[in-house]
Amino acid sequence: MRRVVVGAPAYLAQHDVPQTPDDLLKHDCLALGPQRGWTFRVSPDVRGPSVKTRSIRVKGPMECNDGVVLAEWARSGGGLAWRSMWEVGEDLQSGRLVSVLDDWAAPPVGIYAVFPERRHLPLKVRAFVDLLKEAYGQKNYWLPQQPVVAKRRAMSDQP
């Protein structure tokens, strides 16, 4: 799961576009609850899964505990938000939001399915894991596309 810093074009037109994570300290950042530490690469030139990251403790005028509200505040020009691509992908595609600091983005975080054991795995669990792989295993999974539909036969443990 990839996270990005986003803001409305109107907000970015009135403020300097951040060039490094440290520039966020001069911006109104919208936080999800007490989550004020946003994670970035130490250097934009270093890539790979084992890249070193650091956290920037941002400040801002508003915080809430609802990601939908937070994204709406960002769309309305209230400041910059650190959101998952699946939450703001359509807004980025439409131009309602613009991403900044893309070269500094931390490596994506994985999505994991945890279950007791593979032996005797119920078909319902297998179908759900397959659905996750199909939905999130593709590139740009956050953009609109055909809905993922589970295979009917796998929805029951019985034949």
Tell me the range of 3-7, 44-48, 128-132, 151-155 where mean pLDDT is highest: 3-7
User: Regarding predicted confidence, which is higher, 11 or 3?
Assistant: 11
Burial 67-101 (b: 16+ CB within 10 A, else e): eeebbebbbebbbbbbbbbebbbebbeeebbbebb
Q: Supply the mean pLDDT for the chain.
A: 81
**Which is nearest to 90 in space by CA: 147, 134, 141, 53?**
141
Q: Answer yes or no: is pLDDT of 159 > 70.
A: no
Q: Answer yes or no: is pLDDT of 106 > 90.
A: no
Q: What is the mean pLDDT of residues 79-106?
A: 89
Can you give the pLDDT at residue 108? 72
| Helix, strand, coil percent values for the chain (each to nearest 5) | 35, 20, 50
User: Regarding predicted confidence, which is higher, 59 or 49?
Assistant: 59
* Domain layout of the chain by residue ranges: 3-104, 111-159
User: Regarding predicted confidence, which is higher, 115 or 17?
Assistant: 17
Can you give the pLDDT at residue 141? 54
3-104 is a CATH 3.30.559.10 domain: no
Yes or no: say if 70 and 83 are a contact pair by the CB < 8 Å rule.
yes
Using pLDDT thresholds of 50, 70 and 90, give the confidence band for residue 28.
Answer: very high
Q: What is the mean pLDDT of residues 98-123?
A: 81
Q: What is the mean pLDDT of residues 10-28?
A: 94
